[in-house]
């Protein structure tokens, strides 16, 4: 059996959001954006949840030969991720001659952001292999493994296709929210 253990101290989970249209008391919706550009067509809802950024990906699922159901994936990051992301993306994309990562690098180093360890990675297999970027939070364990961290750890991770980041407006939205975080408005 493969045993994956956390590399860093793990933060406790914030409250689980069951439905993006029925937010628990105290949870504030910051923004939502529909991906009409890339292959998946997901809705993304960004919330402030107990001082943490909870990014929701709700969807109605209709499996073959099974009844349809609702799913609301939740990925938690420090609020500072919003101001860190665009800077980290710019640094990640710098060529080696300008101080960027070595040619062919697929992952940046782990960075402390708002008290949590984040990493930016290139994602090649998303949006029909057009590519994208993932943010990995190595300081938070997915809920399904949180009680089993002695034997299994899987970090929170969010992935956005390039087309959605640039043409669909997600990078602009994150940058604007990051500016509000830095100004103390969020």
Please give the residue range of the domain that contains residue 94. 28-183
CATH number at residue 58: 2.30.31
The answer as to whether 134 is a domain residue is: yes
The answer as to whether 161 is a domain residue is: yes
The answer as to whether 141 is a domain residue is: yes
Say how many domains are in the chain: 1
The answer as to whether 80 is a domain residue is: yes
pLDDT tens across the length of the chain (186 residues)? 455 778 899 999 999 999 999 999 999 999 999 998 876 778 999 999 999 999 999 988 777 888 888 889 999 999 999 999 999 999 888 777 777 666 666 778 899 999 999 999 999 888 778 889 999 999 998 876 555 555 678 899 999 999 999 999 999 999 999 999 999 999
DSSP result, the chain: ------SSPPPPPPPPP--TTSPPTT-EEEEEEE--SSSS--EEEEEEETTEEEEEEEEEE--TTS--EEEEEEEEEETTHHHHHHHHHHHHHS-GGGT-PPTT--BPPPEEETTEEEEEEEE-SSTTTT-EEEEEEEEEE-HHHHTTTTT---EEEEEEEHHHHHTSSHHHHHHHHHHHHHHT--
């Amino acid at each position: 059996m493969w045993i994956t253990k956390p590399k860093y101290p793990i933060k406790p989970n914030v409250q689980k959001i069951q439905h993006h249209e029925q937010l628990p008391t105290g949870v504030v919706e910051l923004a939502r954006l529909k991906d009409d550009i890339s292959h998946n067509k997901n809705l993304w809802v960004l919330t402030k949840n107990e001082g943490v950024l909870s990014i929701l990906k709700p969807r109605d699922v209709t499996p073959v030969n099974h009844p349809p159901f609702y799913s609301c994936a939740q990925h938690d990051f420090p609020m500072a991720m919003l101001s860190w992301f665009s800077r980290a993306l710019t640094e990640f994309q710098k060529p080696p001659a300008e101080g960027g990562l070595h040619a062919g690098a697929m992952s940046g180093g782990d960075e402390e952001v708002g008290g949590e360890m984040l990493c930016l990675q290139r994602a090649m297999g998303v949006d029909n292999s057009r590519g994208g970027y993932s943010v990995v939070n190595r300081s938070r364990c997915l809920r399904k493994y949180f009680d089993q961290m002695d034997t299994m750890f899987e970090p929170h991770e969010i992935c956005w296709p390039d087309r959605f980041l640039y043409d669909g407006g997600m990078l602009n939205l994150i940058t604007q929210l990051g500016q509000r975080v830095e100004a103390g408005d969020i």
